[in-house]
Amino acid sequence: MKYTAVLIALAMPLLGAPAHASPELAAKSKCMACHQVDKKALGPSFKDIAAKYKGNSTAEATLVDSMLKGAKGKWGKIPMPPQKIAPVDAQKLTRWILTL
Ligand code: HEC
């Protein structure tokens, strides 16, 4: 019994980790040079993006595509250049953005 409790205690921080992984990934992927979570910067805020695509069943595919291939004319005059990130990271970032 005691041993199990110790194991659970040790596992807790590991289980908590993914919740913070995406903001860190966004910073590491240099997204934050043009984006902020809740304020418009050079690009739209991640919260505005989440609001725009709320309830859109193809949102995930659209946003992953925008990150990997770039986007223009959807939010304003400034285009987003294609981002040099792995497709799996683009998917993680998209899922995180859509929860905001
Ligand atoms: C050089 C500045 C710049 C960087 C770096 C950048 N973005 Fe953008 N992003 C923009 C701009 C500008 C737009 C609006 C483009 C438009 O109007 O279509 C945008 C749009 C978006 C959109 C909405 C696309 C759509 O289809 O509506 C998402 C999602 C997004 N960015 C995520 C990211 C992520 C994640 C990163 C990091 C991997 C990133 N951006 C890095 C400038 C940037």
Pocket test for ligand 1, best of 28, 30, 32, 35 (most atoms within 8 A of CB): 35
Ligand 1 site, residue 75, Cβ cutoff 6 A: yes
Query: Which pLDDT tens digit goes with each residue over 12-41?
Result: 555 444 556 899 999 999 999 999 999 999
Rounded to the nearest angstrom, the distance between the alpha carbon of 55 and the centre of ligand 1 is 20
Average pLDDT over residues 67-88: 97
Q: Which atom of ligand 1 is nearest to the CA of 94?
A: 29
Residue 5 has pLDDT above 90, yes or no: no
Using one digit for the tens of pLDDT, what is the confidence trace for 35-72? Answer: 999 999 999 999 999 999 999 999 999 999 999 999 99
Cα separations (Å) of 75 from 24, 42, 79, 84? 25, 10, 9, 21
